[in-house]
């Protein structure tokens, strides 16, 4: 399936960017529309696993998900030895692993599925959630003043026009929570009401979208902005940043 090749391509980028130490980060992609009727009914490879909360909107949907403890650099080489296809039950209360091997999904599955369930419930055709650990963006969440969505968005937007254009809804922030928990998932959902990119304080970042390359591009562009900001600070000056007027002028120019 071509989509699996694109997942492998992006997994490789996450590793080469230095955003995926050991098993850092995870990916889920809704591949339901790409599966034949025969593939959709593939037999389960192991007993059904209960979900912490029901995902009614995702009834019978099929996802590729990276495996827990698996390394992005190996997902890039062999997506099905480091991830699996899972099928949500028709009542949305459990899932089964259906291909190709019984690889246990990421520990962030509650967050990923809650995001897919919430966004699809709003009628949005969101297929992808990418979570990764970019050094520069995580670094910014260690600085109290940036734990404010407006302040962080304004700073990143103002470093280069592309940030304003490519991440038009800005970024949300979730205060630190233990990875893999329902609390983290629930707090993330609240940020997705307004944003498609969310920072997890002192942990990582995630992007949701229709397309995996676009999710990667959003994070990559923000990372570029963070690097410009931090390089300026390391050289001993506060970067001037684009003015409000310059940022506002992008809105009509790019139809934002």
Q: Annotated active-site positions, please?
A: 108
Told to check if 108 binds ligand 13P by CB under 6 A, we report: yes
d(CA 104, CA 111): 15
Sign of the CA dihedral with 142 first, then 187, 193, and 218 last: positive
**Nearer Cβ to Zn ion (111/158):** 111
Which of 167, 185, 187 has its CA nearest to residue 175? 187
Least distance in angstroms from the C-beta of 24 to ligand 13P:
5
Told to check if 135 binds ligand 13P by CB under 6 A, we report: no
SS3 call for 1? coil
User: Do residues 40 and 32 touch, judged by C-beta distance below 8 A?
Assistant: yes
Residue 23 touches which member of ligand 13P, Zn ion, none, C-beta under 5-8 Å by kind: ligand 13P
| Positions 202 through 241 that interact with Zn ion (CB under 5 A) | 204
Q: Which of 68, 77, 181, 227: binder of ligand 13P (CB under 6 A)?
A: 68
- Number of residues interacting with ligand 13P: please give it, by CB under 6 A: 10
| Positions 188 through 207 that interact with Zn ion (CB under 5 A) | 204
Which of 204, 14, 215, 238 has its CA nearest to residue 127? 215
User: Do residues 67 and 105 touch, judged by C-beta distance below 8 A?
Assistant: yes
d(CA 188, CA 142): 18
| Angle formed by the axes of helices 212-234 and 2-16, nearest 10° | 10
Least distance in angstroms from the C-beta of 38 to Zn ion:
35
| Positions 16 through 35 that interact with ligand 13P (CB under 6 A) | 23-26
**Nearer Cβ to ligand 13P (25/170):** 25
Residue 94 touches which member of Zn ion, ligand 13P, none, C-beta under 5-8 Å by kind: none
| Residues of this chain that bind ligand 13P (CB under 6 A) | 23-26, 68-69, 106-108, 179
């Amino acid at each position: 399936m071509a989509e699996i090749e694109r997942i492998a391509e992006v997994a490789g980028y996450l590793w080469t960017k230095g955003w995926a130490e050991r098993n850092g980060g995870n990916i889920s992609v809704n591949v339901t529309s790409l599966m034949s009727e025969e593939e959709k009914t593939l037999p389960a490879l192991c007993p059904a696993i209960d979900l912490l909360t029901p995902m009614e909107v995702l009834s019978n949907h099929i996802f590729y998900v990276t495996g827990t403890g698996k390394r992005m650099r190996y997902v890039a080489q062999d997506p099905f030895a480091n991830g699996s296809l899972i099928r949500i039950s028709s009542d949305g209360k459990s899932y089964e692993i259906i291909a190709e091997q019984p690889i246990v999904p990421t520990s962030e599955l509650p967050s990923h599925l809650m995001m897919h369930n919430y966004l699809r419930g709003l009628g949005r055709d969101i297929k992808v959630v990418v979570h990764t650990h970019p050094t520069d963006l995580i670094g910014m969440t260690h600085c109290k003043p940036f734990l404010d969505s407006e302040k962080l968005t304004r700073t990143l937007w103002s470093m280069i026009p592309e940030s304003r254009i490519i991440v038009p809804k800005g970024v949300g922030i979730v205060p630190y929570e233990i990875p893999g928990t329902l609390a983290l998932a629930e707090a993330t959902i609240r940020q997705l009401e307004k944003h498609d990119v969310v920072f997890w304080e002192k942990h990582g970042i995630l992007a949701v979208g229709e397309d995996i390359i676009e999710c990667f591009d959003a994070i990559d562009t923000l990372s570029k902005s963070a690097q410009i900001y931090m390089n300026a600070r390391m050289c001993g000056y506060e970067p001037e940043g684009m003015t409000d007027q310059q940022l506002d002028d992008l809105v009509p120019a790019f139809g934002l």
